[in-house]
Chain A
Amino acid sequence: MRALVCSIIVLFLSGCYKTELDGLDNNPFDAEYAGPAIFTLASDTVVLLQNPNGSTNRRFIQRIRVHTEYFLIPNTTYVVEGVNGANGNTVSLLSNQVEEGIIELSTDNTSSGAQYCWEVRLTNQGSIGARNTVCSIADQ
């Protein structure tokens, strides 16, 4: 009888300890991803180019690191989309185009001392996962 009562009490208490599934936001392919930034600025540089009409094009190149180490499944194929904050242009790069975890996004005709941003998104099969904005100042 005591063993029965103890067993039932254990069952009773076990109904309280199992938690629900909360805080699922650590997958970079989740649009609600809340972990460390997947895209960070690795470096930037300004390249001066000569236009055919003789004017100078200040091309601001931002090298952005893709932190695939945050992927929950390593060696996953993915697509990176970059939306230029200055002109709205969109660039897409497949994972096999990403060399050593770095992508290069460039903005033409930049001004010295101005800040340029890209909203970089991790996508797969047409839908968007983690995203964050990477900004830097074209100060050269």
Chain B
Amino acid sequence: MARTLFISKGLVFAAFMGSAGMLVGQGTGTIRLLVDAPGVAFVVDGKHRMEQREVTLLEGLHQLSIWAPERVVVDTNVFVIAGRTADLKVELPYSEAFLDFKREYGSFSNRRAWTRAVPAAVTGAGVVWSIASFVKYNRAHQRLEDDRTDYENSVEPAGIAALKEVTIPDHQDELRKARTGLIIASGFTLVSAGVTWYIRGRTARWEAPHFDDPEKVRFDGLSWMPGPNGGSWAAGLTIPLSR
């Protein structure tokens, strides 16, 4: 009886020592994440969500789900060796949804840029036309001023008659045409500037494509993290009153 007790005590002690030895033997190692994307986050073993670049884990095999905004969730297994720090270099490819969004946004930006650029270019052409008309108008006016000087400096009646009957009427006609051109050009420019301003206002109200990251939804679903006040479920109802 006493011997039996001794053996059983010995087994308990061995079991205790064995378990203690296991605990001492299962050390920790560090994984350093090298990811080519900002805002990276990861979930360890489907439970613990983390955002730091270095994580200390118990020795053994772990599953990591790594994600960054606009990228796909990459699942990988790592084996942690106790007392060692290992670099885990991961390239997260862009998600298909983000690439679609990028194409759609690029298309939207191009459409808006062109819609704005065309009237702006027309206005720019109008400005150039107005300036050219103004220069032409000033030249025509200057020619008439030169005619006035010629008239005042002339002492030859025949020359004065030719000036008054031919030269000045021609230059008057040029001035009238230049004035009409200037008024048309500046009026056109004013109208096109107004159209440009209007279109700019309209396109500013165009709704740009919005990116809802489905990979983020998937990644968020991998783990549950309570907030500072715990966690809760919420539901919302939106009634579009504007219609």
Give chain A's interface residues, CB within 8 Å of chain B.
Answer: 1, 4-5, 8-9, 11-12, 14-16, 18, 20-21, 24, 26-27, 29-32, 71-73, 76-78, 123-129
Are the C-beta atoms of A127 and B186 separated by less than 8 Å?
no
A-B pairs with beta carbons under 8 Å apart, 22 shown: A8-B126, A9-B186, A11-B130, A12-B182, A12-B187, A12-B190, A14-B137, A14-B182, A18-B141, A21-B172, A27-B160, A29-B156, A29-B157, A30-B151, A30-B157, A30-B161, A31-B157, A72-B153, A73-B155, A124-B157, A127-B158, A128-B157
CA of A76 to CA of B187 in the docked complex: distance in angstroms?
49
Q: Please classify the interface of chain B as helix (H, G, I), strand (E, B), loop, or mixed, using the class held by over half of its residues.
A: helix
Give the shortest distance, in Å, between A9 (CB) and chain B (any CB): 7
Interface size bucket, B side? 35 or more
CB of B155 within 8 A of CB of A18, answer no
Closest 3 CB pairs between A and B?
Answer: A12-B186, A127-B157, A127-B158
Query: Which single member of A8, A14, A21, A32 contacts B127 (CB below 8 Å)?
Result: A8
Chain B residues close to A by CB (< 8 Å): 123, 126-127, 130-131, 133-134, 137, 141, 144, 147-148, 151-158, 160-161, 164, 168, 171-172, 175-176, 179, 182-183, 185-187, 189-190, 193, 197
The CA of A128 and the CA of B156, in the complex, are separated in Å by: 9
